[in-house]
Amino acid sequence: MSKALLPVLVALLPAVASAVGATTGAAILVPQFAPGQTHSNVFSIMHSIKADGYDEYARRNGGSADYTVLAADAHVWRVRSAWRYDGQSGGIDESELRDGGRTACTLKADAHMACQAYLDGSGLVYNPTLWGDAPAQLRAGQSWQVAVTPAWELGGPNGTEQVTVVSVDPAAGSAVLMREGRSTGAFGEGEPQQRQLTRNGQTETLDITPGTAHWKGYTTFVRGVIFSDELLVTRDATLKATDGHTVKATERWIMLLNAAPFPTN
C-alpha cells in the first residue's frame, strides 16, 4: 500500500464506519406514494377507569379504513378514504396530508380544503408532530427526543417523548420504533370532562380531573406507511361526584392498528 494513500484512507474510516448498519431515514419513514396505490388498516382503542368503590368502566371502539392515493408529491399526499366505525356511522371523503404528515385537510362540499393539525394517535403514515423529524440515517439503538407540544388523541399538551430505533431492515425498507413519553392534563380531540360510573347498582356522573399520562409502544414502518402500531397509555386522575366527595382513579387506553388487505369496507 502506498504510504501516500494511508492518510486518505484513515480520514475516510469514520465515514465508512458510520454507514455500516445504517440506512436512509427518508427511505423508511417518508412514504413514496404514487397515484393508484391502495392501503388499508384496522384499528381499535380500549379505555378503562378503575376507582375504589366503583365498578370498572371499560369501553372499546374500532373499525377500518381504506385509502386510494389520488396524487402525491414530496410533502403532500391526496387520498380518497372510505372508513367505518363498527356500530357507528361510516363515510367516504377526499383529503390531503400536508407538511410531511403534520396537517390533515378534508375537501368540503364547497370545494375548499379545511385543514387542521393531524393529532390522531396513529394513522397511515409517519407524523413528525408525534415522532419528531426523521433522522438522516437510522441505526438500531439510536434515539431522539421529541417535544409533543399540542394535546393529541392520547396525550396532554407540552408532552415529552423519547423515540428509540429497535431494528432496521434496509432490504425490506422497514424499521421498528419504540416511543415512550409523558404529559399532564386533558387529551386533545374534545376529551369528555365527565364520566358515568356505577356504584352499588347506581349510575353516577363524575367530573374528571386528569393527571399525568405515560405512554409506551412499538410501531413498524414500511416505506413510510404504518404496518403495525400499538400503544399502552396510563393516567392518574381525580373523580368528583355531585355530592362533593372525590376519589383517585387510574385510567388506561390500549390502541391497536394494523395494515390490512385492501379493501376492508
Read off the pLDDT of each residue in 223-249 and give the average, rounded to a whole number: 96
- Sign of the C-alpha dihedral computed for residues 120, 83, 260 and 138 taken in this order: negative
Instruction: Find the largest Cα–Cα distance for the chain.
Output: 88
| Torsion-angle region of 218 (φ positive above 0: left; ψ -120 to 50: alpha; else: beta) | beta
Q: Is the pLDDT of residue 3 over 60?
A: no
* Secondary structure of 122-162 in HEC code, one letter for each residue: CCCECCHHHHCCCCCEECCCCEEEEEECCCECCECCCEEEE
3-state secondary structure of 132: coil
Helix (H, G, I), strand (E, B) or coil at 26: helix
Helix (H) or strand (E) holding 208: strand 202-222
Determine the pLDDT at residue 190. 83
Mean pLDDT of the chain: 91
Cell of 57: 368502566
User: Phi, psi (5° rounding) for residue 229?
Assistant: -155, 135
Q: Which stretches within 65-200 are classed as H helix?
A: 128-131
Q: Residue with C-alpha cell 438500531?
A: 140
Give the mean pLDDT of 110-128.
Answer: 95
Strand partners, 201: none
Mode of pairing for the β-strands spanning 38-51 and 113-117: unpaired
- Contact present, 183 and 157 (Cβ < 8 Å): yes
* 22 — pLDDT class (breaks 50, 70, 90): low
Please tell me the pTM assigned to this model. Answer: 0.89
Q: How far apart are CA 27 and CA 30, in angstroms?
A: 6
